[in-house]
């Protein structure tokens, strides 16, 4: 039976939820506070990453954050601030950053990433979006120091034990794999299981498909209030309209935590700001890479190479910190000696806020407190990679079918 479904959030998670729900014949409306061409879904590295099996909340991360707290150019920056939500989230993050929690999270992260990788391929094969970049060249974890290599080697061994394709490249082998660019790297760990895309290409195609399927998309509308009645959401009010729906999906990214407060829910989320710079001239880079010391990503996309990275916790703002842009530029140029960013490229830097949960796992599922609410957010750095899988799971939840994988660990009601 067709339902009226309201999706709050027009990023990759919201659009993928609409994609799968539209195939079930539901009447769907998407509310998006932005203009549909900005934010984390547009400025991310475009990775599909089964290799990213370690959640952000890992042992030592809080200590690292405190160490870097007073260096706003550091790859992992937490701006000191006395905000209750941030302090609570930090405490929950600290409590979650244990070896036991990481070991429990690893197989779940692997499974949902592999599910999403298969769904990306299914979407392309369906022809629904037409042609788009979807390549499986893997991901190079490039390093300049033995310390970085040994750190990543532990992850690679876990990934290999889980059946993911991993190989080790010395300087010569790396050079043969990337012959058209001069590299300043000692070697790389090659996660052959990974893929990459161009987000700026897929997002408009996904929007066009949904519009053609009859999905109503309301850009520039910010949710101001959500009214409850008898244990479910009665109305959703924006600055322009009031909406009534049978089911509501909260997929508002970094703003999901703020909106959940209007429903008296406890959904700890902090916005982790990332930066990206596009270089539209030839770079010779053909395989995605993470540069380990500066902790940044490099992706050869359709028409440009993207340099992205950093994790900045400084509140839900899109302010550009020049020192972080400089760190991004310096990090890239230290690995690619012939690359020099020009002033115009640097000026066009973009930022986006990733929604980060305290334990590094997304929130996907119903909450026991509200009958007609499904939550889909908190994916941190894996939002793009997990878009299709999350959308598929959301559709299965709404349809009350058995989900494609166990999702209890993703419960929005879990405690920290």
The residue with tokens 């508002």 is 252
How far is Cα 192 from Cα 181, in angstroms, rounded to an integer? 20
Which residue, among 392, 396, 410, 387, has the nearest Cα to 11 in the 3D structure? Answer: 387
Q: What is the pLDDT of residues 81-114, one digit of tens each?
A: 788 998 899 899 989 989 999 999 999 999 999 9
- Work out the pLDDT band at 61, boundaries 50, 70, 90: low
Which residue, among 403, 339, 340, 416, has the nearest Cα to 376 in the 3D structure? Answer: 403
Q: What is the pLDDT of residues 174-185, one digit of tens each?
A: 999 999 999 999
Q: How far is CA 170 from CA 12, 145, 194, 299, in A?
A: 36, 12, 20, 21
Q: How far is CA 258 from CA 250, 316, 341, in A?
A: 11, 10, 37
Tell me if the pTM is above 0.85. yes
The mean pLDDT value for 239-254 works out to 96
Which residue, among 361, 384, 39, 405, has the nearest Cα to 375 in the 3D structure? Answer: 361
83: number of Cβ within 10 Å: 12
Question: How do 134-135 and 223-229 pair as beta strands?
Answer: unpaired
How far is Cα 186 from Cα 146, in angstroms, rounded to an integer? 8
| 361 in Cβ contact with 386 (< 8 Å) | no
- Work out the pLDDT band at 75, boundaries 50, 70, 90: confident
Tokens of residue 349, six digits: 């830097």
Burial class (CB in 10 A: 0-12, 13-18, 19+), 79: middle
Task: Kindly state the percentage of the chain with pLDDT values over 70.
Answer: 97
Termini Cα distance of the chain? 37
Tokens of residue 153, six digits: 């080697």
Mean pLDDT of the chain: 94
Which residue, among 261, 136, 267, 263, has the nearest Cα to 197 in the 3D structure? Answer: 136
CATH 3.30.1330.40 fits domain 4-410: no
| Max Cα-Cα span within the chain | 66
User: CB under 8 Å to 105, separation ≥6 — which residues?
Assistant: 54, 55, 359, 360, 361, 409
Residue 404 in 3-state DSSP?
Answer: coil
Q: What is the pLDDT of residues 355-382, one digit of tens each?
A: 999 999 999 999 999 999 999 999 999 9
Q: What is the pLDDT of residues 127-155, one digit of tens each?
A: 999 999 999 999 999 999 999 999 999 99
Per-residue pLDDT, 55:
87
- Work out the pLDDT band at 208, boundaries 50, 70, 90: very high
Q: How far is CA 224 from CA 6, 219, 236, 386, in A?
A: 15, 14, 8, 28
Question: How do 296-301 and 289-291 pair as beta strands?
Answer: antiparallel
How far is Cα 213 from Cα 271, in angstroms, rounded to an integer? 32
416: number of Cβ within 10 Å: 17
The mean pLDDT value for 39-65 works out to 85
The mean pLDDT value for 342-350 works out to 95
DSSP string, 194-206: -EEE-HHHHHHHH
């Amino acid at each position: 039976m067709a339902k009226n479904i309201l999706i709050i959030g027009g990023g990759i998670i919201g659009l993928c939820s609409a994609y799968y729900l539209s195939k079930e014949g539901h009447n769907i409306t998407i509310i998006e506070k932005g203009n549909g061409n900005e934010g984390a879904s547009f400025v991310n590295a475009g990775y599909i990453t089964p290799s990213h099996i370690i959640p952000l909340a890992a042992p030592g991360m809080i200590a690292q954050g405190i160490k870097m707290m007073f260096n706003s150019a550091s790859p992992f920056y937490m701006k000191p601030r006395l905000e209750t939500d941030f302090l609570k989230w930090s405490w929950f993050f600290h409590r979650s950053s244990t070896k036991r929690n990481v070991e429990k999270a690893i197989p779940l992260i692997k499974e949902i990433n592999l599910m999403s990788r298969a769904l990306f391929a299914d979407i392309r094969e369906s022809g629904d979006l037409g042609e788009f970049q979807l390549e499986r060249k893997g991901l190079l974890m490039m390093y300049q120091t033995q310390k970085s290599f040994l750190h990543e080697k532990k992850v690679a061994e876990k990934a290999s034990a889980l059946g993911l394709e991993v190989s080790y490249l010395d300087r010569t082998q790396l050079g043969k794999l990337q012959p058209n660019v001069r590299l300043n790297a000692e070697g790389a760990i090659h996660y052959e299981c990974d893929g990459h895309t161009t987000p700026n290409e897929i997002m408009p195609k996904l929007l066009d498909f949904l519009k053609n399927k009859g999905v109503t998309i309301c850009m520039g509308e910010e949710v101001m209030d959500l009214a409850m009645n008898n244990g479910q959401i009665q109305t959703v009010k924006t600055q322009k309209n009031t909406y009534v729906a049978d089911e509501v999906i909260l997929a508002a990214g970094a703003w999901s935590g703020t909106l959940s407060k209007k429903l008296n829910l406890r959904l700890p989320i902090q916005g982790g700001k990332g930066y990206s710079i596009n270089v539209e001239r030839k770079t010779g880079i053909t395989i995605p890479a993470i540069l380990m010391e500066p902790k940044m990503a490099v992706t050869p996309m359709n028409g440009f190479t993207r340099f992205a990275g950093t994790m900045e916790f400084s509140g839900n703002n899109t302010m550009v910190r020049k020192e972080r842009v400089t760190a991004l530029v310096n990090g890239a140029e230290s690995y690619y000696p012939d690359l020099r960013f020009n002033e115009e490229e640097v000026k066009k830097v973009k930022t986006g806020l990733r929604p980060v949960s305290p334990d590094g796992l997304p929130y996907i599922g119903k909450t026991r407190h509200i009958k007609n609410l499904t939550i889909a957010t908190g994916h941190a750095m894996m939002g793009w990679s997990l878009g299709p899988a999350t959308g598929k799971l959301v559709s299965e939840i709404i349809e009350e079918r058995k989900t494609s994988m166990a999702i209890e660990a993703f419960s929005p009601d879990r405690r920290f």
